[in-house]
Amino acid sequence: MYVAVKGGDKAIENSLHYLADIRRGDRRVPELSIQQIREQLPLAVDRVMTEGSLYDPDLAALAIKQANGDIQEAVFLLRAYRTTLPRFGASQAIDTGAMQIRRRISATYKDLPGGQILGPSFDYTHRLLDFTLAANGETPEAPTSEEPVADGMPRVADILDHEGLIELDLPDDEDGPVPDLTRESTSFPADRATRLQNLARGDEGFLLALGYSTQRGFGNNHPFAGEIRMGELAVSFEPEELGFEIEIGEITVTECQMVNQFKGSAKVPPQFTRGYGLTFGHCERKAMSMALVDRALRAKEFSEEITAPAQDEEFVLYHSDNVEASGFVQHLKLPHYVDFQGELVTVRELRKEIAAREAAERTDDDELAAAE
Amino acid sequence: MSMTQEAQPWQAPEHDKPVEQVEGYNFAYLDEQTKRMIRRAILKGVAIPGYQVPFGSREMPLPYGWGTGGMQVTAAVIGENDTLKVIDQGADDTTNAVNIRRFFAKTAGVATTEKTSDASLIQTRHRIPEKPLTDDQILIYQVPIPEPLRWVEPRETETRKMHALEEYGVMHVSLYESIARFGRITTAYNYPVQVNGRYIMAPSPIPKFDNPKMHQMAALQLFGAGREKRIYAVPPYTDVKSLDFEDHPFTIQSWEENCALCGADDSYLDEVITDDAGGKMYVCSDSDYCAERREAGHVGDQGEPQTPAQKGAAE
Amino acid sequence: MMALRDNGPLLEVEGLTQKYGHQIGCEDVHFSLYPGEVLGIVGESGSGKSTLLRCASGLMQPTAGTVRFDTRVDGLQDIYALSEAERRMLMRTDWGIIFQNARDGLRMNVSAGANVGERLMAVGERHYGSIRDVSSEWLEKVEMDLGRMDDLPRTFSGGMQQRLQIARNLVTKPRLVFMDEPTSGLDVSVQARLLDLVRGLVRQLGIACIIVTHDLGVVRLLSDRLMVMRRGRVVEQGLTDQVLDDPQHAYTQLLVSSILPV
């Protein structure tokens, strides 16, 4: 006798145990601590914080551990935690000009006030596997400069600003509330603040590919990396009951300002336009990709023809979020047998009809007429 | 589960009785403000049957596409005295249904049931129970793609305009194409409907077999699409018409076979492959309906009169 | 088809101006079109004729001026003052637009029959059999092989695609059809056949028509009246034969002597 499949409960429970077991791995190898992940996989932590849109290195490290190192799953964990947190309000806008710089490079000027500061970067590693790391060699401390980093470190975009060569960077609505796309559903056309929020949370790989596509001609973009800067800055908050702002902490951010050609329009003389990218921590590739896509999405603003995916607001904003994308792609694992059964019935009926028709055609014309 | 507490060895809640609610989260997981926002969207949806109301869908501890919309609607309408039933593909024991039921047992501590008639709330994915629902029940659908026009027009800005202006000719174009090519309308599930003579609505991927049940249903029908951030509703006793042509009227699936376990000839059947030589049998997709019939003494070809083993399977 | 008002114009364009920033698309254009009349608009590329067509056909709101259409119920109405719902309804019943590129005017991923039937379904026809009958009728009228009825437009030649566009537009018996370079890009022999077809249908059905083209041969064959555009302005207008045989404006003279590049 047939007995229907049962026991989903037990199966789920066992699956969870198995997953945890695999996370732990070979028990003879010491277990990873959250501190180790936070300190030794900092870029993974930064990416999880950025796409998880929650600045908390410890929780991000925990998420990475709990997700068995699956970065997107870790992002999801952080998001699911974030969604339950109460909103006290929006912080004051951060001033990246006041950043304590760790890295700052410009591709548009050879030298500039404050100088170029290479900071920590993979750019000039030779990508040779370093076998001393495998041998657990201790890494020597990095040397520190005799000279302190210059105090005045103006942003490159501000330098262009003095000459009026670059568009003004004004908020759409300085006093209005900051939109929160995790609380309201996005409507189109979306304002730039919403777009930037979406891109900041967006999947690095997706933005990288889109940004790359603009460089290859899918969307005309002629960018210069005006400036990339990374470092620490203070975040302030003004509680309503206090009436003045207080510093609530310090965060690391990476900012990218892309400078793009613009040939001018009837209203505006030729000048440079901006694409903007900002991430938590050190996510340089993401910040640059974001800046390219931000500029591409501004096509309508500059009356540019919209021809490429990266310029298409609905396309980009609806598909950038890896938590949404991953969930929907993976929901295909869920049972669909009711739907499939519906299709089976239809396909069988269609095949039966065709077979009957063919059979009828093989017989004589009278029978054909009868069959119809 | 993706709650952020350290994984505890998890104890399965026993069904049919409330379990202790989990610490640190609000009743039914969502905060009260969010629930109010969702309820407002639901009320708007009820007021404009079939209209997709945008809402501030929250990120849920369940992947998008797995029922986050249905869960938010359930969380917004559930109360301590409710009895919840969750089905996926008509069955209470599919893993996703079990998981969502566990979620509410854990976060709301409400009673759960597998009996359609005992439930005050039924969250469903892909089916409507066979047993007619009553006016004190609410049916909550999980919806992956709320936009019925999505397949003919990928742009949200355009589809919203089409709904607003009632420009629905293109829906019939796709049905026309189906008839021209196959001699019939081949859409087998998520078959588009017109609600209350106005909005065209996606019924979620239920088989078209279930479409007629939506028409003039006594229960309130709520639809939640989490990823797409839309809620819509069909109030009780509302007209729901499946799109068709006068000379190609809407029809539902039928089987030559009956349920092998309970012998039902009026329910949606799942095909079960029994060996690798093409052997198969058909059983009710609605597991509760099948169990109830067997308890009442109905026996199918391969079923047996009530035995302890069978009683266990039907529980 | 007879016009509802025997004497009044079907379409009245006044002071129509479209600017793109400082650039002028078209400026201060006036004309009236009467039921059943065919108006040709000629000029080289960039002369503003396509801008004018887009503004007059409801596709682009002009910077200034009015476009009024003789609606069936309310008489002459400014089309840009109508609600979008009313304008769209007008565009799928009383108007037709035939685009230069068939891809802009056809649904390339549905069959020829469905392309023709779409307008019928849009206005509420719900009988598959009669939709199919009417579609077949129109496919025959535009001289298409009925055996291709269930094929996708992308499998058709350029000339067939244009004929399909015509059938798709005429199926609701519109009173006004706009055509934007309907024959360009087609072989000369295909052009001739298409023009012949259009002339026949327009005369037979009494449809008013505005045809934008750079090809003087097209307007000589089809249009009753002619407007010559240059740099966004109308430099000359009149009866087609009169303008072509006795051009007054220096630019028209150049155009007629065919030394201008297109």
Question: How close A265 gets to chain C, by Cα (Å)?
Answer: 7
Q: How far apart are the C-alpha atoms of B38 and B18, rounded to whole Å? A: 25
User: A104 and A29, same structural domain?
Assistant: no
Residues 6+ apart with CB under 8 A from C64: C15, C16, C17
Identity at B188, one-letter amino acid code: A
User: B145 and B59, same structural domain?
Assistant: yes
Enter the pTM of the model: 0.81
Per-residue tens of pLDDT for chain A, all 372 residues: 444 445 577 888 899 999 999 999 999 999 999 999 999 999 999 999 999 999 999 999 999 999 999 999 999 999 999 988 888 888 999 999 899 999 999 988 888 888 889 999 998 888 888 888 888 778 888 888 777 777 768 888 888 877 778 887 776 666 677 889 988 888 889 999 999 999 999 999 999 999 999 988 898 777 889 999 999 999 999 988 888 999 999 999 999 999 987 766 666 677 888 999 999 999 999 999 999 999 999 988 887 888 899 999 999 999 999 999 999 999 999 888 888 988 888 899 889 988 998 888 887 666 555 655
User: A295 and A200, same structural domain?
Assistant: yes
Is residue A136 in some structural domain? Answer: no
User: A109 and A19, same structural domain?
Assistant: no
- pLDDT bracket for residue B295 (50, 70, 90): very high
Q: How far apart are the C-alpha atoms of B189 and A345, rounded to whole Å? A: 11
A201 within 8 A of A55, measured Cβ to Cβ: no
**With contacts defined as CB-CB under 8 Å, which chain C residues touch A267?**
21
Describe the strand order of the beta sheet including C11-20 as a list of residue ranges. C23-33, C11-20, C64-71, C75-78
Per-residue tens of pLDDT for chain C, all 262 residues: 444 445 789 999 999 999 887 788 899 999 999 999 999 999 888 889 989 999 999 888 999 999 999 988 888 999 999 998 888 888 888 999 999 888 889 998 899 999 999 999 998 999 999 999 999 999 999 989 999 999 999 999 988 999 999 999 999 999 999 999 888 878 888 888 888 888 888 889 899 999 999 888 889 888 999 999 999 999 999 999 999 989 999 889 888 886 544 4
A252 within 8 A of A99, measured Cβ to Cβ: no
Quick one: tokens of A90?
A: 């929006």
User: B140 and B40, same structural domain?
Assistant: yes
pLDDT for B11 beyond 60: no
Give the total number of structural domains in chain B. 2
pLDDT for B291 beyond 90: yes
User: B202 and B106, same structural domain?
Assistant: yes
Residue A265 in contact with partner chain C when CB distance is under 8 A:
yes
User: B148 and B42, same structural domain?
Assistant: yes
User: A76 and A101, same structural domain?
Assistant: no
Residue A10 in contact with partner chain C when CB distance is under 8 A:
no
Helix axes A57-66, A42-52, angle to 10 degrees: 100
User: B275 and B166, same structural domain?
Assistant: no
Residue ending a domain, choose from B241, B259, B277? B241
Is residue A313 in some structural domain? Answer: yes
Strand partners, C179: C98, C211
- pLDDT bracket for residue B12 (50, 70, 90): very low
Pairing between strand B240-242 and B111-112? unpaired
Put simply, the chain B residues between 232 and 271 with a CB less than 8 A from any chain A CB are 253, 255, 260-261, 268-271
Kindly state the helix (H) or strand (E) to which residue C176 belongs, with its residue range: strand C176-180
User: A346 and A218, same structural domain?
Assistant: no
User: B279 and B165, same structural domain?
Assistant: no
Residue B248 in contact with partner chain C when CB distance is under 8 A:
yes
Nearest chain C alpha carbon to B184: C128
How many CA atoms are closer than 13 Å to the CA of C258, on its beta-carbon side?
5
- Enclosing domain of residue B289: 269-314
Q: How far apart are the C-alpha atoms of A315 and A195, rounded to whole Å? A: 12
Q: What is the CATH number of the domain that holds B134?
A: 3.40.50.11310
Quick one: tokens of A175?
A: 């006093």
User: A269 and A215, same structural domain?
Assistant: yes
**What SS3 class is residue A351?**
helix
Nearest chain A alpha carbon to C24: A266
Nearest chain A alpha carbon to B8: A17
B206 within 8 A of B190, measured Cβ to Cβ: yes
Q: Which residues of C touch B (CB under 8 A)?
A: 84-85, 88, 92, 107, 110-111, 113-114, 117-119, 121-123, 126-129, 131-132, 149-150
User: A349 and A282, same structural domain?
Assistant: no
Strand partners, B160: none
DSSP states of A73-135 as a string? HHHHHHHHHHTTSPP--PPPPP-GGG-EEEEEE-SS-SS-TT--B--S-STT------HHHHT
Nearest Cα to Cα of residue A76 among B30, B75, B104, B60: B60
Does the N-terminal peptide bond of residue A189 adopt cis geometry, omega within 30 degrees of 0?
yes
Is residue B213 in some structural domain? Answer: yes
What is the 8-class DSSP label of residue A244? Answer: S
Binary contact (B227, A11; C-beta < 8 A): no
Give the pLDDT of residue B7: 42
Binary contact (A185, B230; C-beta < 8 A): yes
Nearest chain C alpha carbon to B246: C127
Burial class for A365, CB neighbours closer than 10 Å (0-12, 13-18, 19+): exposed
Is residue B254 in some structural domain? Answer: no
Is residue A72 in some structural domain? Answer: yes
For residues A60, A63, A68, A74, the Cα torsion angle rounded to the nearest 10 degrees is -80
Pairing between strand C176-180 and C208-213? parallel
Q: How far apart are the C-alpha atoms of B311 and B297, rounded to whole Å? A: 12
User: B33 and B133, same structural domain?
Assistant: yes
DSSP states of A36-55 as a string? HHHHHSHHHHHHHHHHHT--
Quick one: tokens of B188?
A: 């087998």
**With contacts defined as CB-CB under 8 Å, which chain B residues touch A79?**
59
Question: How close C100 gets to chain A, by Cα (Å)?
Answer: 19
Is residue A266 in some structural domain? Answer: yes
Nearest chain B alpha carbon to C152: B177
Any idea which residue has 């914080």 for tokens? A49
Put simply, the chain C residues between 2 and 21 with a CB less than 8 A from any chain A CB are 20-21
Is residue A110 in some structural domain? Answer: yes
Quick one: tokens of A92?
A: 């004051």
How many CA atoms are closer than 13 Å to the CA of C194, on its beta-carbon side?
26
Give the pLDDT of residue A1: 44
**What SS3 class is residue B312?**
helix
User: B197 and B75, same structural domain?
Assistant: yes
Binary contact (A345, B208; C-beta < 8 A): no
Is residue B263 in some structural domain? Answer: no
Q: How far apart are the C-alpha atoms of B156 and A190, rounded to whole Å? A: 12
- At B168-194, the pLDDT tens digits run 988 999 999 999 988 889 899 999 999
Helix axes A42-52, A192-201, angle to 10 degrees: 140
Is residue B203 in some structural domain? Answer: yes
Is residue A360 in some structural domain? Answer: yes
Binary contact (B206, A345; C-beta < 8 A): no
From the candidates A66, A197, A334, which should be mutated to test the interface with B, based on the most B CB atoms within 10 A?
Answer: A334
Nearest chain B alpha carbon to C118: B173
pLDDT for B196 beyond 70: yes
Any idea which residue has 């189109």 for tokens? A188
User: B205 and B296, same structural domain?
Assistant: no
User: A295 and A157, same structural domain?
Assistant: yes
User: B226 and B287, same structural domain?
Assistant: no
Binary contact (B4, A187; C-beta < 8 A): no
Number of neighbours of residue C144 by Cβ within 10 angstroms = 20
Give the pLDDT of residue B15: 42
C215 within 8 A of C192, measured Cβ to Cβ: no
Question: How close A268 gets to chain C, by Cα (Å)?
Answer: 10
Q: How far apart are the C-alpha atoms of B252 and B235, rounded to whole Å? A: 23
Is residue B256 in some structural domain? Answer: no
Quick one: tokens of A326?
A: 């991953």
Burial class for B165, CB neighbours closer than 10 Å (0-12, 13-18, 19+): middle
Pairing between strand C23-33 and C11-20? antiparallel
User: A64 and A114, same structural domain?
Assistant: no
C165 within 8 A of C98, measured Cβ to Cβ: yes
A289 within 8 A of A277, measured Cβ to Cβ: yes
Number of neighbours of residue A115 by Cβ within 10 angstroms = 14
Residues 6+ apart with CB under 8 A from C188: none
Binary contact (C121, B181; C-beta < 8 A): no
**With contacts defined as CB-CB under 8 Å, which chain B residues touch C114?**
173, 176-177, 180
Nearest Cα to Cα of residue B110 among B33, B10, B15: B15
- Enclosing domain of residue A341: 337-371
Give the pLDDT of residue B277: 84
Where do the DSSP E strands lie in C61-118? 64-71, 75-78, 95-98
**With contacts defined as CB-CB under 8 Å, which chain C residues touch A265?**
21
User: B273 and B236, same structural domain?
Assistant: no
Question: How close C228 gets to chain B, by Cα (Å)?
Answer: 36
**What SS3 class is residue C215?**
coil
Q: Which of B10, B155, B183 sits opposite A13 (nearest CB)?
A: B10
A231 within 8 A of A103, measured Cβ to Cβ: yes
User: A307 and A166, same structural domain?
Assistant: yes
Distances, alpha carbon C253 to alpha carbons A8, A192, B312, C228, C249, in Å? 85, 52, 96, 11, 6
Nearest chain A alpha carbon to C20: A266
Residues 6+ apart with CB under 8 A from A283: A43, A46, A47, A50, A204, A254
Is residue B258 in some structural domain? Answer: no
Binary contact (C84, B165; C-beta < 8 A): yes
**With contacts defined as CB-CB under 8 Å, which chain B residues touch A324?**
64, 227
Q: What are the residue numbers of the active site of B?
A: 50, 259, 262, 284, 290
User: A182 and A233, same structural domain?
Assistant: yes
User: B277 and B179, same structural domain?
Assistant: no
Residue ending a domain, choose from B241, B256, B288? B241
User: A235 and A191, same structural domain?
Assistant: yes
Give the total number of structural domains in chain A. 3
Residue C23 in contact with partner chain A when CB distance is under 8 A:
yes
Question: How close C97 gets to chain B, by Cα (Å)?
Answer: 18
Quick one: tokens of A234?
A: 């203070």
B185 within 8 A of B175, measured Cβ to Cβ: yes
**With contacts defined as CB-CB under 8 Å, which chain A residues touch B29?**
84
Is residue A253 in some structural domain? Answer: yes
- At B31-85, the pLDDT tens digits run 999 999 999 999 999 999 999 999 999 988 888 888 999 999 999 999 999 999 9
Is residue A135 in some structural domain? Answer: no
More confident: A271 or B263: B263
